[in-house]
Amino acid sequence: MSAERAMVLLAGKVHPRVRERVEAEFDAVSIEAADAGLLSDETRNRVRGMASGTRISADFIDSLPNLEVIANFGVGYDAVDAAHAATRKVMVTNTPDVLSDEVADTTVGLLLNALRELPKAEAYLRAGRWASEGAYPLTSLTLRGRTVGIFGLGRIGLAIARRLEAFGLPIHYHTRTKRSDVDYTWHEKLIDMATAVDTLIVIVPGGAATENAVNADVLAALGPQGVLISVGRGTTIDEPALISALANRTIAAAGLDVFAHEPNVPQALLDLPNACLLPHVASASVSTRNGMADLVVDNLKEWLAGRPAITPVPECAGFDRGSS
């Protein structure tokens, strides 16, 4: 390996484009899991950057004495102990913006699928039932006349709001603080917003602050015509409570792209006819994932060259950057 190039660790399952570029532009070393025991002392001392595709703990960060930057693939970075990294002055980056439009598009599609049963209608046609049994039954739910509440109005949440605003729907939102740049109705408490709307879209990060935030009380407040759409992190939804709410018709339907224990989805959820389920594909187009991969590597390049990171996470946004 070239002594002139920084060593970058590929930790866990990384996107092929990340691997290709890191191997071309740095001295690269790969491990399947973030386990310091998989690295020699010499390698641990040489690692300056990391492209992460797995959980990165405080202990693993501490095992790399010369680590400078962790580049996370994805907007959500709850798998990386960014708070601890910040205490070590290790930069953590993520990949916002490049996937916002793709996720927002998918969210609208998932909402329409949950309301209008489009996947079920297509299956009906493909099974020959249109010809043998007649027209697909009228759907009881529609997008018309709905009021949307968005839990999390960051980059993606705002992109979703703009799209649904174009459908002529009133928009409410719940965030920790009120935004000054939008005219949508703000709610200080999630349950108050759920009471005021009949369509709840969840697009907040994972972590302790949002775990099971959408619970039985929130679902009950949403009401019998209520529809839940989840595209952020599966841990924000109390899955047993959601299963019960769907089975008992406490709410009318749900559309989920994320789950608490991926890729394992509860059988009870799979069995529900009023749940529309996707395998975490909101940003899963070739162009979007390639854009995310490029941003991962570009963050590594900038930081290791002594320049500011392109997309630092909030915990690291105030770091000064001297030359390497």
In what side-by-side order are the strands of the sheet with 7-12?
27-31, 7-12, 47-53, 69-72, 91-93
- The residues pairing with 172 across neighbouring beta strands, listed in sequence order, are 149, 185
Q: How far apart are CA 227 and CA 246, in angstroms?
A: 10
User: How many other β-carbons are positioned within 10 Å of the β-carbon of residue 209?
Assistant: 11
Q: 55, 88, 155, 280: which is the annotated catalytic residue?
A: 280
Q: 46, 233, 239, 289: which is the annotated catalytic residue?
A: 233
- Residue 233: active-site member: yes
The alpha carbon of residue 123 and the mean position of all alpha carbons in its chain are separated, in whole angstroms, by 28
The alpha carbon of residue 192 and the mean position of all alpha carbons in its chain are separated, in whole angstroms, by 24
CB contact set of 130 (below 8 Å; sequence gap of 6+): 124, 136
Contact (Cβ atoms closer than 8 angstroms) between residue 71 and residue 19: no
Q: 188, 249, 262, 307: which is the annotated catalytic residue?
A: 262
Place of tokens 């010369």: 66
Which residue numbers are catalytic? 233, 262, 280
